[in-house]
Amino acid sequence: MASVVVLAAAACCCILLAASVSPASSEPAVYSVGDGRGWTVPTGNGTETYNHWAKKNRFQVGDVLDFKYAAKDSVLLVNHDDYKMCSTVTPLTRFADGDTKFKFDRTGFFFFVSGVPGHCEAGQRMIASVIGHSTLAAAPAKPPSV
């Protein structure tokens, strides 16, 4: 009887040890930007549409944004100042394949705008706040003011 208890205790220890070594999440999350609409100019009074969508999600390092958009459009990763001014002159990165997968490689803020003239001003832009993998991570910081 005592050997059964010892064996059960050893099995529990092995399970707990394996669980503590496993990563918190095995697969990165993939987020479809704009859900069913994709990356397009918001209609009506939706100038904050993408930022509202981004605030509802909890992005972590390794997660992927899936931008789907028309062939004439593009996605630009820009700095904060270019985001505020809707400047497309000096993007950090430009994507124009209509189906862009952008993987977050660090914590912090990421600023995206459309590369088509007038689209950013019409609301086709987004700030994404990315946190680390810690399960005890604090709530994401507020994005910089626009």
Kindly report, residue by residue over 20-53, the tens digit of the pLDDT.
334 455 689 999 999 888 999 998 766 568 999 9
* pTM (two decimals): 0.74
Domain ranges for the chain: 27-131
Q: What is the DSSP string of 53-111?
A: HHHTS-EETT-EEEEE--TT--EEEE-HHHHHHT--SS-SEEE-SSEEEEE--SSEEEE
Q: Which CATH number fits domain 27-131: 3.30.950.10, 1.10.260.40, 3.40.50.150, 2.60.40.420?
A: 2.60.40.420
Kindly report, residue by residue over 81-110, the tens digit of the pLDDT.
999 999 999 999 999 999 999 999 999 999
